[in-house]
Amino acid sequence: MLNVSVYSVCRLIVLAREFHAQEAVSIPEEPDSPSGDWSVQMLASHEDDDSFREFKSIVDDMEPDQQQEVVALLWLGRGDYSEEEWREALTLAKDSWNLRTAEYLIGHPLLSDYLEAGLEVFGSSCDE
């Protein structure tokens, strides 16, 4: 069972779609440098974007365990983990957690699709 609100995840899906649909947004599939800061650097030019600001605000207002669940949902929906491996995904998300969760999430161009697929594994959807 999820501790994070399905409504919140669905709102993040909508905002991610809005953000990634913009022509000016370009997120490389492979970072140019091995530094983990590439997504933060890339997103710095979008900090005034309303979709991004609301997305970041929602994520930042979540408790760390809820943020970790959203990250694990991304991984689950992307196929990195199966439903049986959910606890393992949560453990890795907890071990990897930092204050840049919003930037990490929005740095995935297919985030909305992955989150939807992750919700479906738990029998939830944004159509409810």
Tokens 């049986």 sit at which residue? 84
Position 107 scores a pLDDT of: 87
C-alpha separations of 88 from 57, 59, 75, 81, 112 in Å: 27, 22, 11, 8, 22
The pLDDT tens digits of the residues spanning 48-97 come to 789 999 999 999 999 999 999 999 999 999 999 999 999 999 999 999 99
Which is nearest to 51 in space by CA: 77, 24, 69, 28? 24
Position 34 scores a pLDDT of: 46
Position 20 scores a pLDDT of: 83
